[in-house]
Homo-oligomer: A and B are copies of this chain.
């Protein structure tokens, strides 16, 4: 296997984690990576901070450039190469060299698909591809937004969608001095939170000066030349200088049509815990794959850097012949919007109702530090547990500085089936600058215990 050809489609987190792992284990292995952009291994999650100029240069977001992979790691990275289709019978892929505008067939012995996701874009609406309409996913898309702001000096923006990318972009555009309006089809911002917790974010976002309209749907754009001049919803028309789509992400898997590779939830690639697809010698990892939710035991689509890095590493190990498995995830995510921190893990009340699981829940407001210590900030912790067993099923945290990372204890607890009593019993750290003597997650657990 050492001399066979490994072909990887996609040169970001999952693809390059895998490539690096294979290289560490198999120093003479031929590894070819096709990447459609000019960049490899960059932090897509950092794009909002580049746009806010919190991070000064796009280069800072790049962990390793194509040159470093080529020269230091002997990985044959071919940028500006778009893969058009996969022929799993003949074990070859059709590649478009975007510079030469030429297509060719590339054979493989083993194939890893790590094509990531792309922002959902309302492609049925005229003007969705206007010069001032932006998705946020690739580094190139971030640079486009930054260039537009620098050159055109927009004064107002409309963000469509109020998930974590929408909220992070709202922060970025507020910092750049724009007036920000958010249009959200759902009843609440961040549908990854329960409504009661989402409401806290709505209040926070409005306090920051964002005009937030929920239960309002994008209908059309007013266009002048190549630019959108207004967003038209089912309720109003909002003049704007730019539009940002924060409507979620879909896996980049259309090119797998007719490949025989099985797709699952939201057309994400179905994989086993070794990140193998249903086709021999074909692996997949990152935002283009399904993930097993360890709490619901259902497959879901998660587009997050944590899962992309983990699954890339496991795919690489598996390709290199090591025993490795990605067990799944519990749905942990955090997000900052200005001084507010939001974190979540596990299942929502809505999901539990759908699963028919009897649960109890509570939320508690406490402080991030000892009450008397300066800058003790508000933190609200919501916990959800199974009614009789007391097993933790989900946790959500909203607060200010020091709040979000506390979700990690709950994520650990969820993964290992801990109960609310187990959480109360944990020997968590305390000193006045760091926490009250009962950590906020334990204070919430103590309150919830009474209902179990």
Contact = CB atoms under 8 A, between A and B. Distances in A.
A13 to B, nearest CB: 7
Contacts of A404: 429, 431, 434
A229 interface: no
A365 interface: no
Given A13-B437, A49-B372, A373-B55, A412 B426 contact: yes
Interface in A162-181: 164, 168
A84 B60 CA distance: 67
Contacts of A332: 427-429
B429 A43 contact: no
B372 A428 contact: no
A329 interface: yes
Interface stretch (A95-103, A147-155, A236-244, A413-421): A413-421
A356 interface: no
B427 A45 contact: no
Given A370-B43, A372-B49, A374-B54, A411 B428 contact: yes
Given A309-B438, A439-B408, A330 B430 contact: no
A372 B343 CA distance: 21
Interface stretch (A26-34, A182-190, A333-341, A379-387): A333-341
Interface in A314-352: 326-327, 329-336, 341, 343, 345
B426 A372 contact: no
Contacts of A429: 306, 332-334, 343, 345, 404-405, 407-408, 411
Nearest to A50: B372
A372 B437 CA distance: 33
A305 interface: yes
Contacts of A61: 372
Given A374-B54, A408-B439, A426-B411, A432 B329 contact: no
A310 interface: yes
A253 B294 CA distance: 48
A230 B294 CA distance: 63
A44 to B, nearest CB: 10
Which range contains the number of A residues in contact with the other chain? 35 or more
Interface string A424-449: 11111111111101110000000000
Interface in A65-105: none
Contact of A372 (B46, B341, B433, B434): B46
Nearest to A304: B430
A33 B408 CA distance: 39
A409 interface: yes
Contacts of A426: 408, 411-412, 415
Contacts of A416: 416, 418, 422
Contacts of A304: 430
Interface string A364-402: 000000111110000000000000000000000000001
Contacts of A211: none
A406 interface: yes
Contact of A413 (B372, B405, B412): B412
A403 to B, nearest CB: 10
A55 B407 CA distance: 28
Contacts of A427: 294, 306-307, 329-332, 345, 411, 415
Contact of A425 (B45, B309, B327, B331): B327
Nearest to A47: B432
A341 B335 CA distance: 24
Given A405-B429, A415-B422, 5 more contacts: A45-B432, A54-B374, A332-B428, A336-B433, A412-B428
20 contacts: A13-B437, A43-B437, A46-B370, A46-B373, A49-B373, A55-B372, A61-B372, A168-B431, A306-B429, A306-B437, A307-B427, A310-B424, A332-B429, A335-B431, A336-B433, A404-B434, A406-B408, A408-B426, A409-B409, A416-B416
Nearest 7 CB-CB pairings of A with B = A60-B372, A334-B429, A329-B427, A305-B437, A332-B427, A336-B433, A412-B412
